[in-house]
Chains A and B, each alone.
Chain A
Amino acid sequence: MSIQDVSPCVKCYIMEVQPNETLTNLKAESDTLKTKLEDERAKLHDVELHQVAEKVDGLGQFIMKTRRTLKGHGNKVLCMDWCKDKRRIVSSSQVSVWIIVTFSEEHAVTMPCTWVMACAYAPSGCAVACGGLDNKCSVYPLSLDKNENLAAKKKSVAMHTNYLSACSFTNSDMQILTSSGDGTCALWDVESGQLLQSFHGHAADVLCLDLAPSETGNTFVSGGCDKKANVWDMRSGQCIQSFETHESDINSVRYYPSGDAFASGSDDATCRLYDLRADREVAIYSKESIIFGASSVDFSLSGRLLFGGYNDYTINVWDVLKGTRVSILFGHENRVSTLRLSPDGTAFCSGSWDHTLRVRWAALIGIHIFGTRGTVV
């Protein structure tokens, strides 16, 4: 950097240097000043998301109602996932895995297992994967026969050296992505159980993962007890981006629907939004009154709303663009442990340690959307 590139205020500073200073010292000084100038310039670019969103309409008041309450697990619900048919879910608890056709509230299948912390529905809807304290992820092909013993046909796919915290099928039934308490994530071939790729980089338990939504995407994001959220390239196993701004364990990560950003929920009682192209955190969703950790997050279809399930039994709904809380939902009688939007965005399901799963819909007050005459259902 030549002396001409430096602003007048900086020039003066350099001129005051003592005669016995060496050239290297001077260079070091000017480098520091250059960084400071860059920081200043960057600050000018430091617009906040909510400022850019100023022109966008604010959200009004919401009504959110529970449409289905599914009891029957008889135990803490730990995880759930939707089937692509938008009506069925798989949910897991400390002692069993249920497949439920939530729309008609029909329990389809029960499988006794122990401490199943992760479960996922296959894209075809014909199998589910689950695992937990057994350090494994197993795939169960489903059957039309309700009485069939599914455990007999189960296939062990993933083997970790510690508990399985999360699992997800990729774009087909043939591959599964897992994350584990052993600090790694892994991609497996279902048919053979072969390890296709492993992902090392977290310094502690990995608690969650989410696949990128884009059509040509080959990346996923994971969050861990090391407070880091890492973005991985599935092909090479490389960690391509890392974000470390949370102050505690990251319990849940979810991509923004466009795939350009992702949200995280953490034990530090905040949810945060990270933009992948800006390579930094761009919003924090927090309130002084929210003290307990967020266990699970998901976006609404347009990405405007962020639903967060918290350890204080509530669900907070955030306006992603404006950074404000739009609504707080009560109803669960213990921690909310899992929360997912249905595949077409018409409802979301939350599972809790109070043994229930609740499916809720929502509507902005003032928009005539109920399709009902008379009372709100």
Chain B
Amino acid sequence: MTIRNVRDHGQRFRPRMACLKKVESVMLEMQDPKTGVKSQPQRLVITTIPHAITGEDIVAWLTNCYSIETEEAWALGTMLVAFGYIYPLQDHKRLVIKPDASLYRFQTPYFWPAQQWPVEDTDYAIYLAKRNIRKKGILEMYEQVQYNSLHKWMNHKWDFIVMQAKEQYRAGKERKKPDRVVFDCQERAYWVVHRPPPGTVSAMDYGLERMVDPNTEELVLCLFSLFSSLVKYSVTYNKHDPFLAPCLPSNPWVTDDVTYWLLNMANVEIPTKMRVERWTFSFAELLSDPRGRDDFRLFLKKEFSGENLAFWEACEDLKWGTAATMNDKAQQVYKTFLTRGAPRWINIDGKTMEVTVKGLKHPHRYVLDAAQTHIFMLMKKDSYGRYLKSPVFKDTQKRAICPDQHMFSVSQLEANARKRRPSISPIIVRQLEQEERARMATSGPVDITQVMSKLSNKGKEVPPSKK
């Protein structure tokens, strides 16, 4: 579920990209061992910080490199600090360059600002929690306010957050002291940039969002963000992976009890809580689960936009169907959804309609692709979000069940093993579906949504198969 949060400065189309690339090339030059800014280890309180540079050296280097005046170099240096590429070791909350002997360090690329990777509140919550664990009362006033607010609206995943915080804290303690100090500085600097203290000017502020996605022009892709999305997927699905978390009530292969499969059948009336949670991960996830799709269909029906989903399904049917029936199907789709005055007319833009209608003169299985993509994106960006907030979904969510974990004794397990039976043959399931379809067809004009919802209620009252 995408929760729009102004604090993380938008999820898409942030227009800061162009300057980030340029800054990164400057950083590269600044860190050149021969011609970059000269660095040395500095003693700071009781620890030694490696590779520290002074403000005046930075300004001098910039002056030299770009052949500019000191004042301009000073301003440029401040921007580098404001964006988080260089951070101050003293007075860490003021993101400016002081052209004196004040100390700075280059921020590690891991913490550089990235266009595609939004700075998530979850990570901020983990960071604050971690600092809280380290020493209670260490959070500043504004951080405490943020912490309380995050605790409130992230309550449902607070356990996860605390767990991560503890783990990071523990992992941190295992590092050598100098490394730990350096990392802590880097991390702190990162959060000062991305969650600035109140009353300060933030370089991350960029004004209105753009309509055009600058990321599509990007040639040198940021690997960091791509990897992050792979990581994020795994972490999101972690609890749903039977190899990493328990199946409730139990994994049928372990206990020989098939309740798990029965509770998760395609057409159950009441789904499980885990299943419903998956529908919130992405629109594709919702559509690919027949029960989820049914729920979505019900919602659309109440909004009188059921034709979008019906059209999408018809397109899928055309794409994956037998070659022989393709022409007929294409014509049927045209008559039902696209032509003027069609009974289930779908709303697509003029250009797409033109391209589609033209293609239908010589139909092939991908002729509806453009229209299908348009409708898919429409549902994904508009209907899906509203569905997740709708009474239909909330009701399903409320009624969803969470079975208790099975606790079988050894003898019960043996009994389970003896009771193993083959399930209904898919052949029988299909026969029943075909019979149902035939019955619907003989009873007057077919509303495709009715057929689908009726079919989805079937499948439970099947006769036991012959052994």
B200 at the interface (CB under 8 A from A): no
A256 to B250, CA, bound (A): 26
Q: Check A301/B237 contact, CB under 8 A, given A85-B423, A143-B427, A361-B251.
A: yes
Which single residue of chain A is at the shortest CB-CB distance from B259?
A371
The interface-forming segment of A51-59, A158-166, A240-248 is A51-59
Is B110 in contact with A321, judged by CB distance below 8 angstroms? no
Is B408 in contact with A124, judged by CB distance below 8 angstroms? no
A201 at the interface (CB under 8 A from B): no
Considering the complex, which residues of chain A in the window 174-225 have a beta carbon less than 8 Å from any beta carbon of chain B?
Answer: 174-175, 189-192, 194, 196, 214-216, 218
Is B252 in contact with A346, judged by CB distance below 8 angstroms? yes
A15 at the interface (CB under 8 A from B): no
Chain A proximity of B86: nearest CB distance (Å): 15
Is A372 in contact with B255, judged by CB distance below 8 angstroms? yes
Given the complex, which residues of A lie within 8 Å of B29, measured CB to CB?
7-8
Partner of B320, one of A7, A85, A174, A371: A174
Q: Mark B287-325, 1 if CB is under 8 A from A, else 0.
A: 110000000000000000000000000001001111110
Given the complex, which residues of A lie within 8 Å of B246, measured CB to CB?
363, 367-369, 371
Q: Mark B101-114, 1 if CB is under 8 A from A, else 0.
A: 00000000110000
B46 at the interface (CB under 8 A from A): no
Q: Mark A118-139, 1 if CB is under 8 A from B, else 0.
A: 0000001110000000000000
Is B243 in contact with A345, judged by CB distance below 8 angstroms? yes
Q: Mark B187-229, 1 if CB is under 8 A from A, else 0.
A: 0000000000000000000000000000000001111101111
A372 to B244, CA, bound (A): 17
Q: Check A257/B426 contact, CB under 8 A, given A103-B252, A371-B407.
A: no
Given the complex, which residues of A lie within 8 Å of B109, measured CB to CB?
44-45, 47
Q: Check A47/B410 contact, CB under 8 A, given A101-B422, A192-B323.
A: no
Chain B proximity of A67: nearest CB distance (Å): 5
Is B231 in contact with A52, judged by CB distance below 8 angstroms? yes
A287 at the interface (CB under 8 A from B): no
Which single residue of chain B is at the shortest CB-CB distance from A345?
B242
Considering the complex, which residues of chain B in the window 369-394 have a beta carbon less than 8 Å from any beta carbon of chain A?
Answer: 369, 372-373, 376
Q: Check A304/B241 contact, CB under 8 A, given A369-B247, A377-B413.
A: yes
Chain A proximity of B375: nearest CB distance (Å): 11
Which single residue of chain A is at the shortest CB-CB distance from B405?
A371
Q: Mark B424-467, 1 if CB is under 8 A from A, else 0.
A: 01111110000000000000000000000000000000000010
Between A and B, how many residue pairs show CB distances below 8 Å?
263
Q: Check A170/B223 contact, CB under 8 A, given A144-B427, A304-B241.
A: no
Given the complex, which residues of B lie within 8 Å of A38, measured CB to CB?
220
The interface-forming segment of A18-26, A274-282, A308-316 is A274-282
Given the complex, which residues of B lie within 8 Å of A46, measured CB to CB?
223
Q: Mark A140-165, 1 if CB is under 8 A from B, else 0.
A: 00111000000000000000000000
B164 at the interface (CB under 8 A from A): yes
Chain A proximity of B235: nearest CB distance (Å): 6
Q: In the complex, which range does the number of interface residues on chain A fall in?
A: 35 or more
Q: Check A303/B253 contact, CB under 8 A, given A41-B220, A85-B426, A371-B408.
A: no
The prevalent SS among residues of A at the interface is loop
Is A215 in contact with B241, judged by CB distance below 8 angstroms? no
Is B65 in contact with A8, judged by CB distance below 8 angstroms? yes
Is A373 in contact with B28, judged by CB distance below 8 angstroms? no
Residue of B227, B230, B251, B408 contacting most chain A CB atoms (<10 Å): B230
Given the complex, which residues of B lie within 8 Å of A214, measured CB to CB?
284
A253 at the interface (CB under 8 A from B): no
Q: Check A278/B223 contact, CB under 8 A, given A104-B422, A126-B427.
A: yes
A52 to B230, CA, bound (A): 10
A27 at the interface (CB under 8 A from B): no
B409 at the interface (CB under 8 A from A): yes
Jot down 6 A-B pairs with beta carbons below 8 A, ordered by A: A9-B35, A124-B426, A300-B244, A367-B246, A370-B250, A374-B410
A residues lining the B interface (CB < 8 Å): 7-9, 37-38, 40-42, 44-49, 51-53, 55-57, 59, 62, 67-68, 83-88, 101, 103-106, 108, 124-126, 142-144, 170-172, 174-175, 189-192, 194, 196, 214-216, 218, 235, 256-258, 260-261, 275, 277-279, 282, 300-305, 320-321, 344-347, 359, 361-364, 367-375, 377
Known: A194-B323, A369-B251. 7 other contacts (CB 8 A): A7-B35, A8-B29, A9-B35, A103-B420, A303-B230, A368-B405, A372-B410
